[in-house]
Amino acid sequence: MKTYFRLLSFAKPIEKFAIPYIFFTVFAVIFSTLNLALLAPLLQTLFIDTKADDVVKPLGPKPALYDVMEVFKYYVQYSINNYGVWGALKFVCGAIIASALLGNLFRYFSQRTMENLRVHTLLNLRRRVFNNVMNLHLGYFNNERKGDIISKVSSDVQVVQFSVTGTLQVIFKEPLTLIAYLIYLFMISAKLTLFSLIIIPISAFVISRIVKRLKQQAMASQQTYGNMISYLDEALSGIKIIKAFNATNFIKQKFDDENRRYSFITRSMAKRQQLASPVSEFFGVTMVAGIVLYGGHLLLSNQSSLTASEFVTFIAIFSQVMRPAKAISDSFSNIHSGIAAGERVLELIDEKPLLTDAPNAITVNDFNTAIEFNDVSFAYQEKEILSSINLKVPKGKTVALVGPSGGGKSTLMDLIPRFMDPQSGNVAVDGVDVRLITADSLRSLMGIVNQDSLLFNDTIYNNIAFGKTNAKPEDVEAAARIANAHNFIMDTDNGYDTNVGDRGTKLSGGQRQRICIARAVLNNPPIMLLDEATSALDTESEKLVQDALNNLMKNRTSLIIAHRLSTIQNADMIVVLEAGKIVEQGNHAELIQHNGLYKRLIEMQTFNG
């Protein structure tokens, strides 16, 4: 129940929905029960022998309102005395119609209120989950399947919405309906009602055994569904590689195996859920048959004061008792699925660490000095990536990071915009620890180009102006010109309004990279972070972009990762990283003379980003 109440907290302010829902539901239950209760006076009126001498009877004192049966009898007799049997019948039928109208009207309003609660809860829950995912450090995504995250944010949240808020509806409305029915049944005949209730605990026990394993199966089902989404995402992203390596059948089989596993689990879950309904219905019919047998015995042997109309009404009402009872039992199977999905969703909400702004974080609008790494160490899952890094990137200077693959170059760069935080030491901008600066203002100082030229399925213009709603067309064009992208953009079908396709597949690798560089320079940032910015370019494109980058990096503080000599030989300082440690640093000429790792890498031309 702890998980359930945590999920329910996303419905806040719940009183906004709960108070009107309770009001509408109470009246809906009252009038719905009244519909069935009016069956007794209706039958009483229909079965009157109009030829008898005692059709008109003295009324006697008016009964108390809580004695519903006697109140009905009183007013039916009143109508017969004053308006005749036909008039009484019209009165009863009119009362049934009015009760049905009011009951359904209040039921509609209660359902509308609950639907608003569902939508409100889904909005809050999905917003919280997505926001939390966006705040997680990059290392988390390296070890999680993207499809599993998508599954949690989309389908799992949907399951939580319907099962948890639906259960909230059931645990109030259905028990209230059940209580109303039972109260009226006791008013008709306490002895008959007590007899009929014997079988309800038996029914509840059997159904609880049926749905016992649903939570475990729901967890397995949601995990398998996440795997399927991951395989689908990987297949669509890598379709070219899959076909190139004749791996189509292998991928089909991999997806089919997971699909079969998911189908088996959902079939098993459905079997248990669907078994609960017929079992519940069987017990309901059994109870009604038992009541008819026992009640008929009481009537035939004159052991009860029940009239025929009251007995028929009792059976009609009791036949409805199993509907809310069944809804309650079904809610137990639904809540298992909801709690299982909720636990997966809460995993994302509870995932740590979150890179959020410190309580007293400052805003930085200017950049005047340098970037400093002070005794920085970083590890992920007990694997040390960086160890005691001390490095200063002076204002307006270009520092290149080189070294064998896996040396920690990209991790070191990712610490500057706080894509992740070091375990010890600190990264400072203008002498201020980046953890004490708001993330938005820190990142607004930087233009970032990664080795993966990621574009979004949108126009070229919107990809360059990504995240900048106030960007002007002339500024976007100026950024494109700096990145030597304007000419090829104008050669496309719709210029800057051309859609680049999913992940930019309509453009070449060099074109995608130049769009990414234009995006990075749009704000004229004082810091440039370039992680293999020219790795995807052919020789001609590389020269165009490198010339633009050289101009761009003048008078800017730049940190670059590259393996091509043409990119790094003019850097003010070159830092050589190996196994997470700085093993050499200096300019190109100094490091060549040093005759160390840098020279060997130059000779091998194996610098990797």
Does domain 375-445+526-541+553-609 fall into CATH 3.40.718.10?
Answer: no
Residue 606 has pLDDT above 50, yes or no: no
- H helices then E strands: how many in the chain? 23, 10
CATH fold, domain 2-350, is ABC transporter transmembrane region fold (1.20.1560)
Residue 424 CA from chain centroid, whole number: 34
Cα(474)–Cα(480) distance, integer angstroms: 10
Burial 376-385 (b: 16+ CB within 10 A, else e): bebebeeeeb
Q: What is the tens place of the pLDDT at every residue in 397-440?
A: 889 999 888 888 988 998 998 888 888 999 999 888 998 988 88
Question: Over the stretch 268-278, which tens digit does the pLDDT of each residue have?
Answer: 777 766 666 67
Residue 164 and residue 185: Cα distance in Å, rounded?
31
Cα separation, 352 vs 348, whole angstroms: 9
**Domain boundaries defined on the chain:** 2-350, 375-445+526-541+553-609, 454-525
User: Which is nearest to 9 in space by CA: 112, 128, 115?
Assistant: 128
Residue 187 to residues 56, 180, 181, 193, Cα–Cα distance (Å): 25, 11, 10, 9
Burial grade of 32 (CB within 10 A; 0-12, 13-18, 19 or more): buried
Choosing among 3.40.50.300, 2.40.110.10, 3.40.50.970, 3.40.190.10, the CATH entry for 454-525 is 3.40.50.300
- Coil, helix or strand for 353? coil
Cα radius of gyration rounded to whole Å, the chain = 37
Q: By C-alpha distance, which of 405, 407, 357, 414 is closest to 387?
A: 407
Specify which residues 229 forms β-bridges with.
none
Strand ranges across the sheet with 398-402: 446-449, 527-531, 557-561, 398-402, 573-578, 581-586
For residue range 110-139, what is the model confidence (pLDDT) as tens digits? 888 888 888 888 888 888 888 887 777 776
Report the C-alpha gap between 189 and 305 in whole angstroms: 9
Q: Which two tokens stand for residue 388?
A: 């005691």
Instruction: Give 221-236 pLDDT, tens digit per residue.
Output: 767 777 777 777 777 7
Q: pTM of whole model > 0.95?
A: no
- CA-to-CA distance for 23 and 3, rounded, in angstroms? 27
Least confident of 47-51, 265-269, 497-501, 596-600: 47-51
Instruction: Give pLDDT tens digits for 448-466.
Output: 887 777 788 889 998 898 8
Q: Hey, do 375-445+526-541+553-609 and 454-525 end up sharing a CATH topology, with the first three levels equal?
A: yes
Q: How far apart, in whole angstroms, are the C-alpha atoms of residue 175 and residue 131?
A: 37
Alpha helices in 351-504 (DSSP H): 409-414, 439-444, 460-464, 473-482, 486-491
Residues forming beta bridges with residue 380, ordered by sequence position: 383
Structure confidence by residue, pLDDT tens digits, 149-170:
777 777 777 777 766 667 766 7
Close Cβ partners of 213 (under 8 Å, ≥ 6 residues apart): 272
* pLDDT at position 219: 65
pLDDT tens-place string over residues 96-110: 888 889 988 998 998
Give, in order, the Cα–Cα distances in Å from 211 to each of 167, 275, 280: 15, 9, 13
Say whether 501 sits in a helix, a strand or coil. Answer: coil
Most confident of 53-62, 346-355, 377-386: 377-386
